[in-house]
Amino acid sequence: MTTPTSKTAAAPAAATGPATAAGPAAVTTAAATAAPAANFLRHIIEADLAAGRFSAKRWAGKPGPAALQATGAPDPARIRTRFPPEPNGYLHIGHAKSICLNFGLARDYGGVCHLRFDDTNPEKEDQEYVDAIIDAVRWLGFDWKGADGNEHLYFASDYFGYMYDFAQALIEAGHAYVDEQTAEQIRANRGTLTQPGIDSPWRGRPAAESLALLAEMRDGKHPDGSLVLRARIDMASPNINLRDPVLYRVRHATHHRTGNKWCIYPMYSWAHPVEDALEGITHSICTLEFEDQRPFYDWILARLAELGKLAQPLPRQYEFARLNLSYVVTSKRKLLQLVREGHVDGWDDPRMPTLAGMRRRGYPASAIRLFCERTGVSKSDSRIDYSLLEAAVRDELDPVAPRSVAVLQPLKLVLTNYPEGQSEPCTAPRNPHDPQQGQREFPLTRELWIEHDDFREEPPKKYFRLFPGNLVRLKYGYVVRCTGCVKDADGNVIEVHAEYLPETRSGTAGADSVKVKGTITWVSAEHAVPAQIHLYDRLFADPHPDAGDKDFLAALNPDSRKTVQAWLEPGIALQAGTTWQFERLGYFTIDSATSLTNAPVFNRVVTLKDSWAKG
């Protein structure tokens, strides 16, 4: 067969584009040119397709048991994968790896990826999270439509009836029983890695009795924790996960979709394989922590297939190493703690590793896809340095981001020999990578704003910017000679004076008549646009903030956000959704949550260079 040429995490064709909303990009971004990284799952899929493993597979147009699928036509999807988030929080960068992998593989091999909400834990789930997850997956560039245009958006709760029917069938076949031990007793009798488990006193309970108790559990006649349904497998198995795992537990909780209809809820290890089979999933791709669960995954599917409940071919589970990123915490429990305790300003705080936070900060979806592609897919755990994600952001933004100038720490520069009241236009490319975007124009005047760090009364060695007697170029303007400064009563420099050299204007024959070693950026004090700018940095100062027994809150970076009042180049189009490169400073975007037309607020997306690099 022919190997697909597209990449797992590459953007869908319709999702590529510029950093602005103005139209298609005129240059090729890094995502479009990156070589595919290693992905062992491709070899598995290609071997399955070559062997015709799914050639007899049927699809009735919706999920369901064997009897329903038997009525369907041959499955139009060559493979089916799924992304199955639990709606108990916002998606983060780790989820992005799974999203790109599952949706990307389905796309590349003529299949479909289902978005399935594993809503089996009602106490922690909420419709807010469902909506946020749908939004995040779409923003990342994927959807769940099949070739026929039908959407494959599903909820585990839609299968509760099937699961209950399957549980009854397992009981009748002698594969499950209702246990009355407490959770502590079950845990104690489970055994250890070197000692077998101990049979429950109710392991031999008659099927009719277990069926009746299961119905009472469903109907809410027993309190939480009093009864569980367990699979009857092997209490001496070397794999502890096969020592009669729990399938159902009693939970008197209101579900965000089913209300109070159910008083029992399935364990994930039981629901997961059943959901996959009902949806006709061919390749169930999980992270490595589920590897030890695979024997139970296979066991439960095999028993239900023997009972005629599930159609062949059955799904197969494959595991890959999850994304572990330095300077990041991805535990939903810890992220929720950050939100609830006010350490951040919500799930979409630009410092959060959530997709909502990264989107608000200004990370392009294409950069996240590129990062996921570059990190590859393997079965070996490793930790990826955060700088690789930032590099992907830069690589995506550099070719397409329009340029502008901003001054973040303003200091007034007065050109003492420049006529008062006069101004003249200066020009610069909108994007040096794309000459077709043309030039931008901004005025030069007698009084300018420059960065405070661009002046030193007593300069250190190799300092080539403004200091008394030194020459520097005002970028796109003139060469100027510093003549001195003005200080306040406390000795702080509040104004710098210089003289401009009229014959040295950029773009003229005399531009190179005077050689200088330093160039600084500036904006006209009269015409500059005021703006508030949030300078975001990494949320944690420790590369491994929650490793071992560390208190991750102690690793919070006190400098993760600084806010400054800045001056922007006049004429900048304050268009939401646009990301600019502010020359010499980095990439910046308008904050979607707080910016106003007459009071713009910007977020720093990323610096021009890695400020955390050693050395």
pLDDT digits (tens, 9 = 90+) for 560-583: 999 999 999 999 988 888 999 999
Following CA atoms 118, 121, 127, 128 in sequence, which dihedral angle do they give, to the nearest 10 degrees? -100
Q: What is the DSSP letter of 231?
A: E
Following CA atoms 123, 126, 132, 136 in sequence, which dihedral angle do they give, to the nearest 10 degrees? 40
Tell me, yes or no, whether 412 and 302 share the same domain: no
Task: Give yes or no for residue 539 having a pLDDT over 80.
Answer: yes
Q: Which of 58, 322, 430, 584 is catalytic?
A: 322
**Spatial distance between the Cα atoms of 338 and 359, rounded to a whole number of angstroms:** 18
Q: Mean pLDDT across the stretch 502-527?
A: 95
Tell me, yes or no, whether 129 and 200 share the same domain: yes
Q: What is the 3-state secondary structure (H, E, C) of 337-384?
A: HHHHCCCCCCCCCCCCCEHHHHHHHCCCHHHHHHHHHHHCECCCCCEE
Per-residue confidence (pLDDT) for residue 613, from 0 to 100:
66
Q: How confident is the model at residue 194 (pLDDT cuts 50, 70, 90)?
A: very high
Task: Give yes or no for residue 587 having a pLDDT over 60.
Answer: yes
Per-residue confidence (pLDDT) for residue 614, from 0 to 100:
56
| Assigned domain for 15 exists | no
Per-residue confidence (pLDDT) for residue 30, from 0 to 100:
54
Place of tokens 């700018």: 533
Tell me, yes or no, whether 415 and 279 share the same domain: no
Place of tokens 């929720």: 336
Question: Is 190 part of the annotated catalytic residue set?
Answer: no
CATH number at residue 593: 2.40.240.10
| Assigned domain for 137 exists | yes
Tell me, yes or no, whether 336 and 287 share the same domain: no
Q: 40 CB contacts (<8 Å, ≥6 apart)?
A: 320, 377, 378, 379
Q: Which of 42, 53, 86, 412 is catalytic?
A: 86
Q: How many helices (H) and strands (E) does the chain have?
A: 14, 29
Structure tokens at 182: 């407490």
Q: 78 CB contacts (<8 Å, ≥6 apart)?
A: 49, 54, 109, 110, 111
Closest CA to 485 of 514, 515, 457, 518: 457
Q: 23 CB contacts (<8 Å, ≥6 apart)?
A: none
In degrees and rounded to multiples of 5, residue 389 shows phi and psi of -65, -45
| Assigned domain for 497 exists | yes
Place of tokens 């330095």: 326
pTM over 0.85: yes
Tell me, yes or no, whether 163 and 276 share the same domain: yes
| Assigned domain for 5 exists | no
**Spatial distance between the Cα atoms of 556 and 507, rounded to a whole number of angstroms:** 48
Amino acid symbol at 461: K
Tell me, yes or no, whether 65 and 195 share the same domain: yes
| Assigned domain for 12 exists | no
What is the tens place of the pLDDT at every residue in 291-343?
999 999 999 999 999 999 999 999 999 999 999 999 999 999 999 999 999 99
Per-residue confidence (pLDDT) for residue 5, from 0 to 100:
39
Question: Is 86 part of the annotated catalytic residue set?
Answer: yes
What is the tens place of the pLDDT at every residue in 226-252?
999 999 999 999 999 999 999 999 999
Question: Is 243 part of the annotated catalytic residue set?
Answer: no
Q: Which of 467, 494, 521 corresponds to the end of one domain?
A: 521
Largest Cα separation within the chain, whole Å, is: 101
Per-residue confidence (pLDDT) for residue 36, from 0 to 100:
55
CA angle 540, 546, 548 (to 5 degrees): 145
| Assigned domain for 32 exists | no
Q: Which of 57, 251, 332, 361 is catalytic?
A: 332
**Spatial distance between the Cα atoms of 359 and 344, rounded to a whole number of angstroms:** 16
| Assigned domain for 327 exists | no
Per-residue confidence (pLDDT) for residue 278, from 0 to 100:
98
Tell me, yes or no, whether 47 and 153 share the same domain: yes
Per-residue confidence (pLDDT) for residue 590, from 0 to 100:
96
Per-residue confidence (pLDDT) for residue 148, from 0 to 100:
80
Tell me, yes or no, whether 351 and 410 share the same domain: no
Structural Rg of the chain based on CA atoms: 31
User: What is the average pLDDT value for the chain, to the nearest integer?
Assistant: 92
What is the number of domains present in the chain? 3
Per-residue confidence (pLDDT) for residue 29, from 0 to 100:
52
| Whole-number Cα distances in Å, 444 to 17, 528, 583 | 33, 11, 17
- Parent domain of 294: 37-320
Tell me, yes or no, whether 197 and 299 share the same domain: yes
Tell me, yes or no, whether 459 and 594 share the same domain: no
Q: Which of 283, 299, 320 corresponds to the end of one domain?
A: 320
Per-residue confidence (pLDDT) for residue 295, from 0 to 100:
97
